[in-house]
Structure formats: C-alpha cells, structure tokens
Amino acid sequence: MAPAPTDRRSRGRAAEALAEAFLQGQGYQTLARNHATRRGEVDLICRERDVICFVEVRSRTGRAQGSPLETVGAAKARRVVAAAVDWVARNGAEGRALRFDVVGVTLGDGSPRFELVRGAFDGDGRACP
C-alpha cells in the first residue's frame, strides 16, 4: 500500500477515491463527484437502489483524535444539504428519495478502515438518531 499523502487536499482526494471504491463494493453507483456551490459542497453523489445518497467523506490519519465521523458537525451537514438541494434542482431529481450518508476513512499504516453511516443527518442538517 502506498503511504498516505501528506498534504491535506491530496489526503482528502485520496480518501474520497477510497470511499468511492468502498461504496461501490457496498452496491452504490456513483452519479457525481464534488458538486460545489457558493453555499456548500458534497463529496459524492451516489444511488443505492432507488435512493439518491449525498455522501460526505471524512478522513483522519489515525484514531488518536477519534473517529473521522466525529468531525461532521451541524454546520458542515447544512453545507452538504445546500449543495444537495442545488444538485437535485439541476438534475431533475425532485420527488426522489434522498439520504445523507457519511463515510469515515482512517488512513495510515496498512489498509484503510471505513465506517459508513447511512442517514447520518436529515435535510435540515440535524444528526439522525
């Protein structure tokens, strides 16, 4: 396995590529990557069966500071929702079932570790129980 990239942007892009491959193994189909607006960005837009999934990818180089999933707060969730609303409008996906997922990728020595939370937050950016 290649060493983890050292700069933050490269590490983030590498984590997104790893997460995309992981999600494809879980049955997700990628529809778009890195949809950005002035109000926010969503890393991956996928379809799982009949559900459009807006996926935030978070990574860390180790577990010493906790799970990468812990880094998604309400403000970040609202930015993902804003980008998702824009994507839905631009792609005629109104009325489709939507979901907000988060994938945590822990990089470092050895193979990356993945954590997937389906339905991590709602359309208002509030964490789901």
47 lies in some domain? yes
Could you list the residue range(s) of the whole structural domain that residue 13 is in?
A: 8-121
pLDDT in tens, 2-18: 444 557 778 888 899 99
127 lies in some domain? no
pLDDT in tens, 63-114: 666 678 888 889 999 999 999 999 999 999 999 999 999 999 988 778 899 9
- Output the CA torsion sign for 77, 56, 112, 10: negative
CA–CA distance, 129 with 9 (Å, rounded to integer)? 31
Q: What are residue 46's DSSP bridge partners?
A: 30, 53
CATH classification at residue 22: 3.40.1350.10
Structure tokens at 55: 């996926």
How many structural domains comprise the chain? 1
Structure tokens at 121: 């937050």
- Under the banding of pLDDT at 50, 70 and 90, the label for residue 51 is very high
Residue by residue, DSSP assigns 35-73 as: EE-SS-EEEEEEEETTEEEEEEEEEES-STT--GGGG--
35 lies in some domain? yes
Total-model pTM: 0.90
Structure tokens at 101: 């997922």
Count of alpha carbons within 13 Å of 55, Cβ hemisphere only? Answer: 33
